Amino acid sequence: MLDQEAAFVQIQEAKTMVEEDLQRRLEEFEDEKEQLQKVAASAASLEQQLQQVNLTLQQRDQQLAVLQQEHLDLLRQLTATQETLQAREQSLGDLQMCYDELHAQLEELQGEAASRDDTIRFLQNEKIVLEVALQAARSGREELDRGAKRLEEGTEETSQVLEQLRQELAVKSSQVEHLQQEAATLKKQTQKIKEQFLQQKVMVEAYRRDATSKDQLVSELKATKKRLDSELKELRQELIKLQGEKKSVEVEHVRLQKEMSHVHQQMADLEGHLRSAQRERDEMETHLQSLQFDKEQTVALTEANAVLKKQVEELQQEAARAITEQKQRMKRLGSDLSSAQKEMKTKHKAYENAVGILSRRLQEALAAKESAEAELSQLRAQVASGGSDLPLHERIQALEAELQAVGHSKTMLEKELQEIIALTSQELEEYREKVLELEDELQESRGFRRKIKRLEELNKKLALELEHERGKLTGLGQSNAALREHNSILETALAKREADLVQLNLQVQAVLQRKEEEDRQTKQLVHTLQAALEREKAKVHSLKEQVAAAKADAGHNRRHFKAATLELSEVKKEL
């Protein structure tokens, strides 16, 4: 009885232990199921993150391709900029040559201006000489006027003397008849006087002709004087104009010197800009080398990105396979766990029912046994006290048979209980095996969790590498943007310099054309002035010759007039 109760207690304890163990296993299974669901959710999120990483990698590849294209465009722009810089250097060399030519032309213009100054001084000296000659001509003309007046007075006096002589001859004609002797002598004298008179008349006619010619000469001299005065006025005006032009030329020369200094300054500025452009070109070359190095790094990074992409794809495929396997395993584990739970519940109910039935039957058997034993002990006591009684013996035999039947039923119940214990132990072993399998699967799921953690760590590393790549790409983008901005600044500066060079070239060409036009006008004016000066010199020379001839004629006339006056005085004395 005690063994049966102890066995029953052990069975109850084993049952409670199995129930507690199963409950604990079920709770662990629930926890593991929740954790596996979380792991599946994290795996799904990791898959989404991997897809996002794939998309970002594709975007980065596209951005890298765009940046490489922009880098190539920048390289082409840099080569074009270098070519334009070389062209600008060549144009600057041409401008330097033009500047040297302009400087030489300016020196020639300065020499021509000096020669013009000498020519102006020579013209001023010639003007002074012409004024002196004109003053001498005026004085000679005044002397001629005075001589002509004296000649007119002498002719009047001679005409008066001749008139008086005629009157005296008329008076004396009467006396001539009486003075025939004197007439012969007087005839000779009169013949002589006639001859002298004829000579004087011829001389007077010649003098008149000379006087008319002198009048004509004087009128011509007056006309030439007027013309010379007008030409002198014109020369003075031209001289004033030349002085104004000289001043304008000097002002223009000063302006040209200022322009030349400005051009020098601009050339210095352009040289400074050229040096700065060369420095910028050197910097651009160094930056280009760094960009080539960055390009090599970007090529290496693209290769590394391709390798990482392959690794990410492999990890994605592996994670997808693992996630699908884990999902299938989770489904299988869930189905197994649910079936095990259902089976455990059914078996637990059946076990509880069987144990309850057996416990009730065992309790009934024990109660019947106890009652039979008590009745048997009473009957035995009655038999011992009252002697032998047949019904008591039969009752005892029946009780013994009943006890045997109860014992047999007890043994049968014990066998059934042993069978149930064996069955429960077998089921416990099976459940232990299932639990071990589930623990193995949990270990595998934990390994998968470790793998997921490793994938998360790899994802973090990839995210860090992606951030690093993003930083590099942003740096490259900023450097490319800075290069584009610097290139645009260089293009605007080059366009501005080109416009300045074009404007300077136009200004230089305008100055050259203006100088050529002024030189041509100045040369033409100098030629006209030289021709006018030569004409005036010829006219002055002819006037000098005419004045000398007039002076010679006036001296000759004076001598003739003196001779005539002397002869007239002698005639008067003889008369």
Residue boundaries of the structural domains of the chain:
2-88+116-172+189-574
Confidence of residue 11 (pLDDT cuts 50, 70, 90): low
Return d(Cα 272, Cα 534) in angstroms, integer: 55
Confidence of residue 184 (pLDDT cuts 50, 70, 90): low
The amino acid sitting at 454 is R
Segment 272-276 shows an average pLDDT of: 65
Return d(Cα 192, Cα 266) in angstroms, integer: 99
The angle, 0 to 180 degrees and rounded to 10, between the axes of the packed helices 180-386 and 390-574 is 180
Identify which of 265, 249, 255, 253 has the alpha carbon closest to the alpha carbon of residue 107: 253
Confidence at residue 39, expressed as pLDDT on a 0 to 100 scale? 65
Per cent of the chain over pLDDT 70 is 36
What are the structure tokens assigned to 499, written together?
A: 């416009």
Contact call for residues 267 and 99 (beta carbons, < 8 A): yes
Confidence of residue 131 (pLDDT cuts 50, 70, 90): low
**Residue with token string 């910028």:** 280
Confidence at residue 561, expressed as pLDDT on a 0 to 100 scale? 65
Confidence at residue 136, expressed as pLDDT on a 0 to 100 scale? 64
Which of the residue ranges 86-100, 371-385, 413-427 would you say has the lowest mean pLDDT? Answer: 86-100
Which has the higher per-residue pLDDT, 327 or 369? 369
Q: What is the Cβ-side half-sphere exposure of residue 472, based on CA atoms within 13 angstroms?
A: 18
- Is residue 29 scored above 60 in pLDDT? yes
In whole angstroms, how far apart are CA 548 and each of 414, 536, 544? 190, 17, 6
Written as one string, the DSSP assignment of 72-106 is HHHHHHHHHHHHHHHHHHHHHHHHHHHHHHHHHHH
Return d(Cα 261, Cα 417) in angstroms, integer: 128
- Is residue 447 scored above 60 in pLDDT? yes
Confidence at residue 394, expressed as pLDDT on a 0 to 100 scale? 75
Return d(Cα 487, Cα 426) in angstroms, integer: 87
Return d(Cα 40, Cα 244) in angstroms, integer: 104
Which of the residue ranges 6-20, 194-208, 215-229, 420-434 would you say has the lowest mean pLDDT? Answer: 194-208
- Is residue 2 scored above 60 in pLDDT? no
Angle at 178 between CA 176 and CA 181, to 5 degrees: 75
Return d(Cα 259, Cα 176) in angstroms, integer: 103
Residue 575 DSSP label: -
Return d(Cα 568, Cα 560) in angstroms, integer: 12
Identify which of 410, 415, 420 has the alpha carbon closest to the alpha carbon of residue 366: 410
Confidence at residue 557, expressed as pLDDT on a 0 to 100 scale? 66
Confidence of residue 361 (pLDDT cuts 50, 70, 90): confident
Confidence at residue 430, expressed as pLDDT on a 0 to 100 scale? 76
What are the structure tokens assigned to 340, written together?
A: 């095990």
Contact call for residues 269 and 261 (beta carbons, < 8 A): no
Confidence at residue 146, expressed as pLDDT on a 0 to 100 scale? 72
Return d(Cα 261, Cα 569) in angstroms, integer: 86
Task: Give the count of beta carbons closer than 10 Å to the beta carbon of residue 312.
Answer: 19
Angle at 196 between CA 190 and CA 198, to 5 degrees: 100
Helix, strand and coil content of the chain, in percent to the nearest 5, comes to 100, 0, 0
Residue 265 φ/ψ, nearest 5 degrees: -65, -45
| Beta-carbon contacts of residue 25 (< 8 Å; ≥ 6 apart) | 435, 438
pLDDT digits 0-9 by tens, 499-517: 776 777 677 677 778 777 8
Q: Is 162 exposed, middle or buried (0-12, 13-18, 19+ CB in 10 A)?
A: middle
* Identity of the highest mean pLDDT range in 210-224, 411-425, 556-570: 411-425
Which has the higher per-residue pLDDT, 388 or 454? 454
Segment 388-400 shows an average pLDDT of: 70
Residue 388: its H or E element:
none
Return d(Cα 340, Cα 346) in angstroms, integer: 10
Confidence of residue 133 (pLDDT cuts 50, 70, 90): low
Give pTM, 2 decimals. Answer: 0.37
Confidence at residue 175, expressed as pLDDT on a 0 to 100 scale? 56
Taking all residues of the chain, what is their mean pLDDT, rounded to a whole number? Answer: 68
Identify which of 399, 394, 393 has the alpha carbon closest to the alpha carbon of residue 376: 399
Return d(Cα 67, Cα 479) in angstroms, integer: 10
Could you tell me if residue 388 is left (phi over 0), alpha (psi between -120 and 50 degrees) or otherwise beta?
beta
Contact call for residues 344 and 22 (beta carbons, < 8 A): yes
Angle at 265 between CA 264 and CA 270, to 5 degrees: 95
